[in-house]
Amino acid sequence: MISFVLLCKVNNYHAFLKVNLCYFCVKFYILEVYFLGTGTSQGIPVIGSNHSVCKSTDLKDKRLRVSIWIRWEDHSYVIDCGPDFRQQMLTSGCTQLDGILFTHEHADHTAGLDDIRPFFFRQGDIPIYGHQRVIANLQKRFDYIFELENKYPGAPSVTVNFVANNIPFALGNKSVIPINVMHGTLQVFGYRIDDFAYLTDVKTIEQEEAAKLKNLKVLVVNTLRKEPHETHFNLQEALDFIALLKPEKAYLTHISHLLGFHEEVQKTLPKNVFLAYDTLEITI
């Protein structure tokens, strides 16, 4: 396969297009998103569960803890770094990590931080991005990673980048817009990059934040189950939110076994809404 990068003008802005020439097909893309995990905090199957979805043999019903890998040109980032991070890096074939964007501090989004070690050994300090409160929480839970003196030689190091609402920040050669959402009473950041937005653990969102999500090609948003939940969108809330924002396509993630079988739930969704599944890759 031959790869090269072109600078093109698309819709009045300049974009780098990576071109892969693979046998007889030519593929153009700008941003690649790989779903590393699409499950809720316990993952699917849940340990010890006899639920039929947990027993399903369909690989799309196996869901690791929620995370995505985003790539463009030679840039490579993940959003969140949960307890399945090591397995997800091995399965996806990710060999370069330019940084981690954290949505919030809950363990299903952060517990894999120690496993950045192979990237740290090859690349040096790994940049992390998150709300000041989230970084403070990581400093408490992973104190050895942030130690500056008498540090254990095998421990990884990070460089800290604080994310604040209404302040877009640079990621490689792109700009990221933080989206402030609420996970019950806990503040969480979603992130918009170009025409792509990733929102997880949302229960409520203010109108001015939703206004930052206009004209999306792809929206990823959490959907826990059909029944209501105190801190997560259920299916109807997620579909209402998608209907309000009108992205070209939407993918549902952070899914509980209680939502049902992937194949059956997919059949009930509007034609531009898809259940994400682990290892799904999309280009924007």
Q: Which residues bind Zn ion (CB under 5 A)?
A: 108, 201
* 71 vs 183, beta carbon nearer Zn ion: 183
- Cβ of residue 12: shortest distance to Zn ion, in angstroms? 38
Burial 68-90 (b: 16+ CB within 10 A, else e): bbbbbeeebbbbbbbbbbeebbe
- Cβ of residue 109: shortest distance to Zn ion, in angstroms? 6
* 76 vs 103, beta carbon nearer Zn ion: 103
- Cβ of residue 106: shortest distance to Zn ion, in angstroms? 5
* 105 vs 108, beta carbon nearer Zn ion: 108
* 108 vs 278, beta carbon nearer Zn ion: 108
156 residue type, one letter: P
Beta strands, E only, 57-207: 67-72, 75-79, 99-101, 126-130, 158-162, 169-171, 174-183, 186-193, 196-199
Edge-to-edge strands, sheet with 32-37: 158-162, 126-130, 99-101, 75-79, 67-72, 32-37, 281-283
- Cβ of residue 171: shortest distance to Zn ion, in angstroms? 22
